[in-house]
């Protein structure tokens, strides 16, 4: 079964808007686990505008499911990941001031850089995942870099899905087949929601993990967190 990893960045954004510790990021993460999430994802950025480095340290000893840290591999990020040793690190090519991830890696141009990082994190016993688009050549270069998994950047799928689901999913199915043929694991994330998640999973049932934050937390405002996690897991059954 495909695992659901809940990205809790938006909980931290809400907390930071007022200061203090309401909502409590750690409690929400533990509640997500209690309600059935199989993982927790955080994306600490240099300006700490949502998840803080202290949050990462606070979460690590308390989580009982998979912990995934994603971000751009700056020196500070690399040091944080090696100290915390999550189950998985997901590398994204974000600029420091970027609002959200909006593209996958050019793995061909950055092959040497990424290969070194795969060795560094792999040597520490951390599963590696590289954020990519659906370009088959770039997926092949992710494999050459030594990545354990790739995470498909799914915003193009989510954008096209409402008007043409068949066309939206087609390049992702081909990309997913390429990932499987190369022996890597397969994750997906970005703009996945209750509207489009089931269709993606029906067409790519061998997904290892989906990482979902913004839509899930938004849905929880109406449905409640426990019900929302149940509905997302239903899409993956």
Q: Would you call 79 helix, strand, or coil by DSSP? A: helix
Nearest-10 crossing angle of helices 9-18, 214-223: 70
Indicate if 201 belongs to the active site: no
Q: What is the DSSP string of 205-222?
A: TT--EEEE-HHHHHHHHH
* Residue of 33, 50, 66, 70 marked active site: 70
Kindly tell me the burial class for residue 183, based on how many C-beta atoms sit within 10 Å of its own C-beta (0-12, 13-18, 19 or more): exposed
Distance CA 37, CA 102 (A): 25
Active site residue 70: yes
Verify cis geometry, omega within 30 degrees of 0, for the bond prior to 23.
yes
Query: 195-230: string of b/e by CB count within 10 Å (b at 16+)?
Result: ebbebbbebbeebbbbbbbbbbbebbeeeebeebbe
Is 214 a known active-site residue?
A: no
**Active-site annotation holder among 33, 66, 151, 190:** 190
152: which strand partners? Answer: 132, 188
Tokens of 94: 């974000």
Q: Which of 33, 43, 50, 201 is catalytic?
A: 43
Catalytic residues: 43, 70, 190
């Amino acid at each position: 079964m495909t695992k659901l990893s809940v990205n809790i960045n938006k909980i931290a954004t809400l907390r930071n808007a007022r200061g203090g510790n309401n909502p409590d990021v750690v409690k929400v993460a533990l509640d997500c686990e209690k309600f059935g999430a199989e993982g927790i994802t955080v994306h600490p950025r240099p300006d700490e505008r949502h998840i803080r480095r202290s949050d990462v340290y606070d979460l690590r000893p308390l989580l009982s499911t998979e912990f995934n840290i994603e971000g751009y591999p700056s020196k500070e990020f690399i040091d944080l990941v090696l100290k915390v040793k999550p189950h998985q690190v997901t590398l994204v090519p974000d600029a420091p001031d970027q609002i959200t991830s909006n593209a996958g890696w050019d793995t061909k141009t950055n092959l040497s850089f990424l290969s070194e990082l795969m060795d560094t994190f792999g040597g520490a016993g951390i599963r590696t995942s590289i954020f990519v688009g659906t370009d088959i050549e770039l997926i092949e270069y992710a494999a050459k870099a030594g990545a354990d998994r790739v995470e498909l950047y799914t915003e193009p799928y989510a954008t096209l899905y409402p008007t043409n689901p068949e066309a939206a999913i087609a390049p992702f199915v081909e990309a997913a087949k390429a990932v499987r043929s190369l022996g890597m694991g397969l994750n997906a994330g970005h703009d996945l929601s209750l509207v489009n998640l089931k269709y993606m999973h029906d067409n790519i049932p061998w997904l290892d993990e989906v990482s979902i934050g913004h839509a899930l937390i938004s849905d929880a405002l109406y449905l409640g967190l426990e019900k929302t996690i149940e509905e997302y897991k239903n899409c993956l059954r």
